[in-house]
Amino acid sequence: MKICIIGAGYVGLATGVMFGKLGHEVVVADIDKIRVKSVNSGSLPFYEPPLERELRRLVDSDQLVATTDVQDAVEDAQVIFICVQTPSLTSGRIDIGPVKAACKIIAKALGKSNRRKMVVMKSTVVPSTTDSVVKPILERYSGKKAGKDFGLCMNPEFLQEGSALKDSMEPSRIVVGSDDKRASRELMDLYRPIKSKKIQTDLRSAEMIKYASNTFLATKISYSNEIANMCLRFGIDSQSVLEAVGMDPRIGPLFLKPGLGFGGSCLPKDVKALKDKASQEGYSSKLLAALVAINNQQPSESVRLLEKALGSLEGKRVAVLGLAFKGGVDDTRETRALPLVIELLGKRAQVIAFDPMAMANFIKLMPSIRYAPSIAECLRDADGCIIQADWPEFKKLGKKEFSLMRRPIVVDGRRCLDPEKVKRAGARYFGIGYGLAEQ
């Protein structure tokens, strides 16, 4: 089948590569010339090695191609996936401008074509967007009717950056939402080779499943942060507490790791967007408001720990390790490193930062601080360091690295080090939710 993916981001490329691997002919359309060029040379516009290897294989065998001619790509395809971004506006509401723009182009191509096509909404949009915004635009600009002349589905994604390909090939579940039985059946058929649980539902429920899932993940993280903050003040190590909590099968062990809060392109945005949508409908969500508040306070927890060890941070050299929103990626969207660095600068600390992959992206957000070319250079002469992202290389920090510091003080913002090992290596250990010993 000929499949067109609109949007060469994480979601679009993971979806495109997945369908390519299933044997379909894939065209990825994007308005960004640089991204298109990169995809056509077999390179991803972001760091995700397993996905890049498969992309290169598909590009080399002409099974996947990228283009800036969105309309042409849509005209040629049988199924069109909308995977454009839906970023947050300052109100928390999502910006559906890119979705609307993509829909207008798709509609023009639908209008010209005699063959029935299927349009699948994959971008994350608040409940009712597909039937009250996407569908009317597609119908108005094509002169055709959804359900009769073209199919329309909502098919949210659940992939995590860092495991985008695996999560696309082996998703925890596939949700197919449609108010049109034929379209729903056709999309279910397309996913047949993927042996995951499949749920068929209506458009609005499919949209809501994505928000309900991501806000639950955010809830688990913020709950862990609250427990950790309390454990620290009670003189308890939250790690053993949360491990024991996670052994209850009703709770589960994942997403119970305390830290500097959740970042990334989805969790912060989705919490704010659902809260905004609920308030538009007259419902004020206290839980979602609390998630935002807890998340906002977490970077300060680590600064407080550093101050406990160092006193005033004025003039102190503070090394920030990890600038990506989590270890293993180069993505800095909503990274907790940004509020952390801003707070440190507000306290007149001299900040020096390092990240194995995300430095180039972070420099665009914060050009004014110093950047180090390696972990060792970042730590050299530092009065303390804060680990902001759980990169595997930070887990190996030991005597050699700590001995470079003026004062070997480690604030583990992601609980990725073993406190005892750090202490044996001659450094003082402070961790989020670590209420033992010298804290």
Which residues are within 8 A (CB) of 21 and not within 5 positions of it... i.e. 6 or more apart? 54, 58, 169
Using rule CB under 6 A, residue 259 touches ligand UDX: yes
Contact 352, 317 (CB under 8 A): yes
Determine the interface stretch with ligand UDX among 2-10, 181-189, 242-250, 313-321 (rule: CB under 6 A).
Answer: 2-10
Whether 416 is catalytic? no
Residue among 54, 157, 47 at smallest CA distance from 391: 47
Identify which of residues 15 and 184 has a Cβ nearer to ligand UDX in the complex: 15
Q: How far is CA 247 from the centre of its chain?
A: 26
The CB-side HSE value for 35 (13 A sphere, CA atoms) comes to 17
Tell me phi and psi for residue 152, to 5 degrees: -140, 125
Using rule CB under 6 A, residue 11 touches ligand UDX: yes
Contact 270, 214 (CB under 8 A): yes
Using rule CB under 6 A, residue 30 touches ligand UDX: yes
The single residue of 266, 378, 385, 416 carrying the catalytic annotation is 266
Identify which of residues 256 and 378 has a Cβ nearer to ligand UDX in the complex: 256
Task: Tell the smallest beta-carbon distance from residue 77 to ligand UDX (Å).
Answer: 14
List the interface residues with ligand UDX, window 35-64 (CB under 6 A).
Answer: 35
Query: How large is the angle between the packed helices 286-310 and 337-346, nearest 10 degrees?
Result: 50
Using rule CB under 6 A, residue 257 touches ligand UDX: yes
Using rule CB under 6 A, residue 339 touches ligand UDX: no
Using rule CB under 6 A, residue 160 touches ligand UDX: yes
List the interface residues with ligand UDX, window 212-241 (CB under 6 A).
Answer: 214, 217, 221
Task: Tell the smallest beta-carbon distance from residue 415 to ligand UDX (Å).
Answer: 9
DSSP, res 76: H
DSSP, res 237: B
Q: How far is CA 320 from the centre of its chain?
A: 21
- The alpha-carbon radius of gyration of the chain (Å, integer) is 23
Using rule CB under 6 A, residue 330 touches ligand UDX: no
Task: Tell the smallest beta-carbon distance from residue 30 to ligand UDX (Å).
Answer: 4
Of 22, 101, 199, 345, the residue at the interface with ligand UDX (CB under 6 A) is 101
CA-to-CA distance for 244 and 230, rounded, in angstroms? 16
Query: Which chain residues interact with ligand UDX by CB under 6 A?
Result: 6-12, 30-32, 35, 83-86, 98, 101-102, 123-124, 157-161, 214, 217, 221, 255-257, 259, 262-267, 325-326
